[in-house]
Structure formats: C-alpha cells, structure tokens
Structure 1
C-alpha cells in the first residue's frame, strides 16, 4: 500500500479509536448533550465574538446546522445571544452560567484523558512533535487553499 494512503488511514483510525474510547465517559458525564452540541459549546467558550459563520468554520459544519444547534442550546439555557454596539445586525453567542458549567465539565474530561494518555506524549521528543505539527499544518494548508480556490 502507498505510504501516503496508509498514513491517512492510520491517522483516521487513531482519531476514531480516541473518539470511541472517550465516548462512553463523555456520554455518562455530559448526559443529554450530543458531541456536536458539546463542540459548539466549546467553540463559543474559545472564539472571540462567536457567530454562526465562525462556529460553522470552526466545527466544519454548515451554517444551517449551527443555527439548529444554537436554537436548541438557547432553549435549554446553555447559551444566549448578544449584539455588539458596532454591529447591530449580527448575533453573537455566549455561554450562560449553565453553559459554563457544562464547558468546565467537558474541559475536565479532556484534562483527565490527557493525564491518562500522558505516557505516549512523555516519550515524544521536541523534533517528533515538530514533525507531526509540520505535517498536519502542511496538509491543512493544502485543503484550505483548495477550498479558497473553489470559492474564487
């Protein structure tokens, strides 16, 4: 098999294995929330002035999907909307107190998993990290440029 294809398959398999491994604990600790909802909550916590477009780009979802998810989260008092003084047309999102609690719980799970998997990262050298980051960066840049060219 071509090494390039094998590398992509191994990366995707690893990502799926991580998700499968973490999913039961995530579902138990954050019962009633889908992975997409948790991702939106996480992005709202991290992105400055998050709006539908920014959330769609960050989560690789459509704006329509983000609109549906945010409506559900608003109805559940997890997020709320606001407008900036300089832009009265655009709606932005922020976490409510309930949303902050969910996000904190989610972040604690990620920390727990990092600690659980620490032995893998402890053995990696700076050069190994740099190589992996360079590869991912180049690949993502290729995809971004391709996407830009299609929209021009």
Structure 2
C-alpha cells in the first residue's frame, strides 16, 4: 500500500473508530433521533437562516430528502419553519425549545469526546495542525470540483 492509500485508509479507520466509540453514548443521550436528524439539528443550530437549499448542499442530499427529514423533525417538534417578511418564497428553519435542548445535549457530547481525545492533540504542534488543515482544505476543494463536474454533467443531459 502506498502512502496515499495509507492516508485514505487511515482517515477512514479513524472515522470508523470515532463513530464506534461515540455511538453508544450518542444513542442513549439522543434516543429517538437518527444520526442524520441530529446532524440536521446541529446544522440548523449553528447556521442562521438554514433552508432546504443550504441543507441539501451541506449534506450532499437532494432537496426532496431534506424536505422529508425536515417534515419528520417538525412532527417531533424540534424544528419549525418560517418565512422572512421580504422573501415569501423561501422557507427557513430554526430550532424550537425542544430542538435547542437536543442541540445542547449533542454539543455537550462533542465537548466530552474532545476532552477524551485532548491528550493526542496536546502532542501536536500548531504547524502540524496547520499542515493537516491545509491538506483537508485542498482535498475537499478537489472533491468539490469533482462533485461540481458530476452535477454539471447531470444538468446537461
């Protein structure tokens, strides 16, 4: 396996391990919510004026899939839709009180996981972190360009 493959396999293994370690606590603390729903709540909690288009772009999902999740979350009472007075066409989402509670539980779990993993990050220099961030930004940019090519190809047909 060459180094490029080692990096990609390593990233995948890291994410799999993090998911496995975090899963049981997340399932207990956020019982009744699917991971996709929790990520949806997280996005809305962190981004003002979240709408179907922004959510679809962020999660690489169709607008229809986003609408389906948003309907489920409205039925659960964790998000609500609204329109701006100057834009009656666009529908936006915000968290309800119940949604803010779910968001707070999720954020507390993230802080707990960061604390658990702090020992590793304390051994990494600022320069090493910057190099990793730079690599991730370049790779994400490349993947975004590839996604755009696919989207453009579908639109032309």
Same fold (TM over 0.5): yes
Q: 2: distance between equivalents of 1:38 and 1:127? A: 33
Output one character per residue of 1:100-152: Cα deviation in whole Å (capped at 9) or x when no partner.
00000100000011011110101110011011001100000111122233444
Flag as ranges the 4+ runs of structure 1 deviating above 3 A. 149-152
Output one character per residue of 1:5-54: Cα deviation in whole Å (capped at 9) or x when no partner.
11111101111110111000000011010000000000001112101111
1:86 shift after superposition = 2.0
The equivalent of 1:22 in structure 2 is 22
Q: 2: distance between equivalents of 1:5 and 1:62? A: 30
The equivalent of 2:5 in structure 1 is 5
The equivalent of 2:52 in structure 1 is 52
1:1-150 correspondence to structure 2 within 5 Å: 1-150=1-150
CA contact under 8 A between 1:39 and 1:59: conserved in structure 2?
no
TM, length-normalised to structure 1? 0.96
Secondary structure of residue in 2 paired with 1:94: strand
Q: Considering only aligned residues, what root-mean-square deviation do their CA atoms show, in Å?
A: 1.1
Secondary structure of residue in 1 paired with 2:50: coil
TM, length-normalised to structure 2? 0.93
Q: Tell me, which stretches of 5 or more residues in structure 2 are unaligned? A: 153-157
- Count the aligned residue pairs: 152
* 1:96 to 1:109, Cα distance in 2 relative to 1, 3 A: same
Q: 1: distance between equivalents of 2:70 and 2:151? A: 26
Output one character per residue of 1:33-89: Cα deviation in whole Å (capped at 9) or x when no partner.
000000000000111210111112222322222111110000111000000122101
